[in-house]
Amino acid sequence: MSLKRRLSDWLLLLAVRYYCLVRHPVIMAHAISANGYFPNPSKPRLIGDKFLWRKLFDRNPLFAVACDKLASKKYVIDQFPELNTAKVLWTGTDPDEIPDDLLGGDMVFKANHGSGWNLLIRKGEATDNARLHERARFWLARQYGRRMGEWGYSRSARKLIVEEMLMDNGRPVQSEYKFHVSGGRVAYVYTSTGGSGDSQHYVVLDRHGKAFKPTPDGQGCEIPYTLPEQFAQMVLVAEKLSAPFDFARVDLYDLQGQIYFSEITIYPLSGAGNIRVKHLTTLRNEMWDIRNSWFFTTPQSGWRRLYRAALKRSLDAKAAA
């Protein structure tokens, strides 16, 4: 690459960096707070930069599918008709229309267009209708993720959902496996040994099921762990569901020998790059190649076309070094 081309690319990438700061100050400020450094979304190098870059530039239509709870269920069933999902008992926009018998317990009341917007209602416990209505009004009045730049949620229909609660031996299912997948291949899996509070221990599994427990030095020590019999199948499911994404987190439940779909997450922890096990942060970053993203594989126009070309040359040079 000629010196003139390198200088031109450097200036363009610098201009895009300042554009991001001026055009999206709140999103940039959140990234600084979440990651502890001043990010560079115009030339993403660290994992936090990549999540920020995704928020600002990548408009993969499938992000909207993943962020929409109802649409993601359809996407999953189209891919794996045999895969289980929690049954949707009702959906609508007015909580007054929910049949009374559905509020008897062991159900989840949630919003279709947000993350963490849910209420668990257990059988035998009185339903707080005032709280339910208050939450419903709050959810329906808001577009989740706008402030943090989570574009995918902006395309989701604003709906309320009543869904069956997945139960395991009389309590909500605990065995959730979070598959972090880059380029269609599982980088690692994050799960919990169960329990709550101080009795809950988190375990990291590699693609083959070898288990590690996070340690204070941020590395992890190998520990014995009993894998579900269908773990290998869960890996295949996660990799197939995430194949159209350059990076995604696919959450699956193990429930009495059956695999249940939970969700596909595009902006885990709202795009915070650093996690408690440092070498996993590095692994996730190394495996995530944004050149496989929608932004790079779909024609762009205007200055974004020039920016994409300059960024690709930079990334190609780094990969070849």
pLDDT digits (tens, 9 = 90+) for 6-25: 999 999 999 999 999 999 99
Q: Give the pLDDT band of residue 281 (cuts 50, 70, 90).
A: confident
pLDDT of residue 150: 96
State yes or no: pLDDT of 68 exceeds 90: yes
DSSP conformation class of 202: E
Of 57-61, 216-220, 288-292, where does mean pLDDT reach its minimum? Answer: 216-220
Three-state SS for 144-198 is CCCCCCCHHHHHCCCCEEEEECCEECCEECCCEEEEEEECCEEEEEEEECCCCHH
pLDDT of residue 265: 95
Q: Give the pLDDT band of residue 193 (cuts 50, 70, 90).
A: low
Please state the pTM of the whole predicted model.
0.91
Whose CA is closest to 120, among 176, 77, 163?
163
State yes or no: pLDDT of 270 exceeds 60: yes
pLDDT of residue 242: 94
CA distance 316 to 321: 9
Report the chain's terminal Cα–Cα distance, integer Å: 13
* Contact indicator for 266, 152 with CB cutoff of 8 Å: yes
Q: Give the pLDDT band of residue 40 (cuts 50, 70, 90).
A: very high
CA atoms within 13 A on the CB side of 310: 22
Phi and psi at 46, nearest 5°, equal -95, 165
Of 15-19, 21-25, 168-172, 218-222, where does mean pLDDT reach its minimum? Answer: 218-222
Average pLDDT for the chain = 90
CA distance 106 to 311: 50
CA distance 265 to 247: 9
Q: Which residue in the block uniquely carries the two structure tokens 């070849």?
A: 320
Residues 174-183, mean pLDDT to the nearest whole number: 91
More confident position, 279 or 37: 37
- CA–chain centroid gap for 276, Å, is 17
Per DSSP, what are the bridge partners of residue 185? 182
State yes or no: pLDDT of 271 exceeds 90: no
Residues 124-165: pLDDT tens digits?
Answer: 777 788 999 999 999 999 999 998 999 999 999 999 999 999
Residues 281-308, mean pLDDT to the nearest whole number: 93
Residue 298 neighbours by CB distance under 10 Å: 12
CA atoms within 13 A on the CB side of 285: 18
Residues 230-240, mean pLDDT to the nearest whole number: 96
The rounded percent of the chain whose pLDDT value lies above 70 is: 93
- Give the 3-state secondary structure of residue 284: helix
pLDDT of residue 1: 75
Angle between helical axes of 302-320 and 3-23 (0-180°, round to 10): 120
Q: Give the pLDDT band of residue 218 (cuts 50, 70, 90).
A: low
Q: How far is CA 317 from CA 61, 298, 307, in A?
A: 29, 21, 15
Of 97-111, 231-245, 273-287, where does mean pLDDT reach its minimum? Answer: 273-287
Of 9-18, 144-153, 182-191, 222-231, where does mean pLDDT reach its minimum? Answer: 222-231
Whose CA is closest to 264, among 75, 13, 127?
75
pLDDT of residue 214: 64
Q: Give the pLDDT band of residue 222 (cuts 50, 70, 90).
A: confident
Residues 275-304, mean pLDDT to the nearest whole number: 87
Q: Which residue in the block uniquely carries the two structure tokens 């997948």?
A: 181
Residues 206-215, mean pLDDT to the nearest whole number: 82
